[in-house]
Structure 1
Amino acid sequence: MQQLPRRTLLAAGATAVAAPALAQPRFPARPVRIIAASAPGGPSDVCARVLADRLGAIWGQTVVVENRAGAGGNIGADLVAKAAPDGLTLLMAASSIIAAPFLVRNLSYDPMRDLAPVAEVVDYPMVVLVHPSVPARNLADLVALARADPGGITYSSAGVGNTSHLAPALFAHTAGVEMTHVPFPGAGPSQTAILGGQVKASFNNPGNSVPSIRAGQLRALAVTGSTRWRDLPEVPTVAEQGFPGFEAISWMGLLAPRDTPEPILAQLERDTLAALRDPDARARLQGAGYAMRDQGRAEFRRVMEADTALWGGFIRQANIRQD
């Protein structure tokens, strides 16, 4: 029998080893779902749809957005936490999921344990708003009113456990005053309540707030970021008004089920960051009132860990419960 040269045998062996790798299907081989843990038009829905458009173009694959609102984002988060870890079911989550384990007894998932960060998409501060009937022009005025009438300053929120609830609660705690929380099912109804004078104050997102401020329907007293907001440069931060170090930020981020394989997570991260750096995607998200973050897995995990420490510690200290 004729013997093949050793170099030929090695080449044949290398081809045999490489063949399975070449035969692996390109991700994603099937349509991808992004679960938006809010109603249509909500922040996570807006972010999910912008990202779905760009990822669909990058992948040449269908990317659909499914809205699973309810329970402060926990319904959507639980669905993704229990989904197959194949990268085909993703979560566009709001920062409120970080507070969930501290608010809800027997929560069926743990955001830090059961969800794998892919990328932080956007963030934004809250705008401290009052109805024009409230005689407050700054935070000192608001604090004075709250001290004169404990509990008399009512504030609306988009629901228990999100930043529009926790930021004013943290502010009241920091200022040493009592304010009354009035939760509503979403940022839209919360805004409607303060516009109608049903409540006196609200901490709402810039996208909802700026048009009403410009129209003279609401008065802005402060923003909760570390710097002034780009669309409200005349409005000082909370920290500037005698509360150094105060900061409360909401974010939106993409997450996957915990056991998603590393190669898939790496591709999701890479492609998501590419999608977020697309000029059209950036224009749409910034136009909706958000600040671009486009941070990868490591940076996003650090943000989640910092928020866990902040909100977990405060919720325990203030004994806030959702159920």
Structure 2
Amino acid sequence: MLPRRTLLASLVFSLLGSTALAQDNWPSKPIKFIVPAAAGGTNDVLGRHLQEPLSKLLGQPVIMEYKAGAGGAIASQYVATQPADGYTFLLHGSGLVTVPLVQRKPLYDAMKDFVPVSLIGTSPMVLMTHPSTPATLKDFVDYARANPGKLEWGASALGGVGQLAMEAFHEAAGIKNMVMVPFPGAGPSAQALLAGQTKYMLSTPSSATRGLVAEGKMRVLGVSTARRSPLLPDVPSIGEVVPGYDTETWFGLVARTGTPQPVITRLANAIAQVVAMPEIQEKIRGVNVVPQSGTQALGDIIRKDNVQWAKVVKANNITMD
């Protein structure tokens, strides 16, 4: 009869060998990308652009599954409770970080429950204004500073990145006491701006935005990134008038903490190959996202967002509960 220590050592080596074998054979079944919103949003569109070429590279189907609600928290909590076996991933964006920061009882911890797999792309936010307000970024900021409480601004989601980015803009620009008007989504918020019910908002750019600007129904005065965006090269960066202001939205894939590193590395490498394809880059830019990839790049953005938005939430006592 084998000694107890020998039996335990054999069991450990057997388990390690089985785990290594499972990782070597990954993927051996379909992979799920959980989307924290209904079909048709930017996350979904980006995932569908990657879906077919990723399936070909990995040799298994990539399936999109939708779990909308609670600002993305339902989908995030779901993935955080799934087995860390490399078959269920979360295709999310900036809301992964902002939502638990504004919940009194968060359903998950963005920093502890997830690890980055790969960035897919980033997008600036744009400062959109009603034509009744000053026509240049500098003149608008000067007017807003000189007239505290005189302008209404739209928030497309309470506690969302648009609201947090606007509060950060106000603080950096020295703009005080403006009136926030919340709306259930970017569409209603944009309609209120067009009608003059609000005078400005921060949102991601779109083809509809470009059309409305061309018709003179709204203006785009600046992009939120530190430098001008390749998506809108003729639009100044807000930082050119408000030094230090720098924020952007992002889209990427994360996994539950504990997912084997070889699995993350292989999937990240596959995503990098797909994102580098010229036809995929064109499709990604078509939804106003700058194509990017990388595990470390996504991890750096998530950590930066967590620090930046936590400060804004605390300073402004923001909650969505």
Q: TM-score, normalization: structure 1?
A: 0.86
The one-letter code of the counterpart of 1:104 is Q
Counterpart-to-counterpart distance in 2, 1:115 and 1:268: 15
Aligned-residue offset at 1:45: 1.6
How far apart, in 2, do the equivalents of 1:202 and 1:161 lie? Answer: 14
Question: Match of 1:47?
Answer: 46
Please report how far the alpha carbon of residue 149 of structure 1 lies from its aligned counterpart in structure 2 after TM superposition: 4.8
Give per-residue Cα distances to partners, 1:253-284, cap 9 Å, x unaligned: 10011111122112111112112112221110
SS of residue in 2 equivalent to 1:90: strand
Q: Which residue of 2 aligns with 1:12?
A: none
Distance 2:266 2:231 in 1: 34
Q: Residue 154 of structure 2 corresponds to which residue in structure 1?
A: 156
Counterpart residue identity of residue 236, structure 1: P
The 3-state SS of whatever aligns with 1:86 is coil
* 1:220 counterpart = 2:225: no
Deviation digits for residues 121-162 of structure 1, max 9, x if unmatched?
110111101122x22112343334435553332222331233
- Output the CA distance in 2 between the equivalents of 1:228 and 1:104: 33
Relative to 1, partners in 2 of residues 1:180 and 1:260: Cα closer, same or farther, differing over 3 Å? Answer: same
Amino acid of the structure 1 residue aligned with 2:124: P
Computing the radius of gyration over CA atoms, which structure comes out larger, 1 or 2? 1
| Preserved contact between residue 34 and residue 66 of structure 1 (Cα < 8 Å) | yes
Q: In the superposition, relative to structure 1, how do residues 188 and 30 fare at CA in structure 2: closer, same or farther (>3 Å)?
A: farther
Instruction: Note the residue ranges of structure 1 that are not aligned, 5 or more in a row.
Output: 1-17
- Partner SS for 2:133: coil
What SS does structure 2 have at the residue aligned with 1:294?
Answer: coil
- Fraction of identical pairs, as percent: 34
Residue type at the aligned position of 2:118:
A
Q: Distance in 2 between matches of 1:114 and 1:26?
A: 25
- Distance in structure 1 (CA, Å) of the matches to 2:36 and 2:21: 37
User: Secondary structure in 2 aligned to 1:33?
Assistant: strand
Counterparts of 1:203-282 in structure 2, within 5 Å, are 203-208=202-207, 209-241=209-241, 243-282=242-281
Of residues 282, 293, 298, the one that matches 2:296 is 298
Match for 1:109: what amino acid?
Answer: Y
The residue type equivalent to 2:301 in the other structure is V
Letter paired with 1:72: G
Aligned AA (2:179):
T
Asked whether 1:192 is paired with 2:161, we answer no
CA distance in 2 between counterparts of 1:78 and 1:213 reads 39
Q: Give the conservation status (yes or no) of the 8 Å contact 1:210–1:231.
A: no
Q: How far apart are residue 103 of structure 1 and its match? A: 0.8
> What is the count of residue pairs matched by the alignment?
303
What's the CA shift for 1:184? Answer: 2.6
Alignment TM-score, normalising by the size of structure 2: 0.86
Q: Within 5 A, what are the aligned runs for 1:105-184?
A: 105-132=104-131, 134-147=132-145, 149-176=147-174, 177-184=176-183
Deviation at 1:20, TM superposition (A): 10
Name the aligned partner's letter for residue 290 of structure 1.
V
Secondary structure of 1:112's aligned partner: coil
Letter in 2 for 1:155: W
| Contact 1:207–1:290, Cα closer than 8 Å, also in 2 | no
Q: Which amino acid aligns with 1:206?
A: P
Residue 13 of structure 1 corresponds to which residue in structure 2? none
Amino acid at match of 1:232: L
Quick one: structure 1 residues 147 and 240, their matched pair in 2 at CA, closer, same or farther if it must change by over 3 Å? closer
SS of residue matched to 2:220? strand
Report the alpha carbon displacement of residue 23 of structure 1 after superposing the two structures with TM.
8.6
With over 3 angstroms needed to count, the CA separation of the structure-2 counterparts of 1:53 and 1:140, relative to structure 1, is same
Q: Is the 8 A contact 2:90 2:255 kept in 1?
A: yes
> Structure 1 residues 63, 20: closer, same or farther in 2, change over 3 A?
closer
Whole-Å separation in 2 of the counterparts to 1:233 and 1:272: 27
Paired position in structure 2 for 1:318: 316
CA distance, structure 2, for counterparts of residue 38 and residue 24 of structure 1: 30
SS in 1 for 2:171: helix
Q: Structure 2: which amino acid aligns with 1:235?
A: V
Q: Deviations over 1:79-108 (max 9, x none)?
A: 111111122111111112212232111212
Change (3 A) 1:211 1:87: farther
In the alignment, is the contact (CA less than 8 A) between 1:33 and 1:89 conserved in 2? Answer: yes
After the TM superposition, which of the residue ranges 192-201 and 118-127 deviates more from structure 2?
192-201
How far 1:205 sits from its partner (Å)? 0.9
After superposition, the C-alpha distances for 1:200-249 in whole angstroms (9 at most, x for unaligned) are 111111225333223322111111111222343332111112x1111111
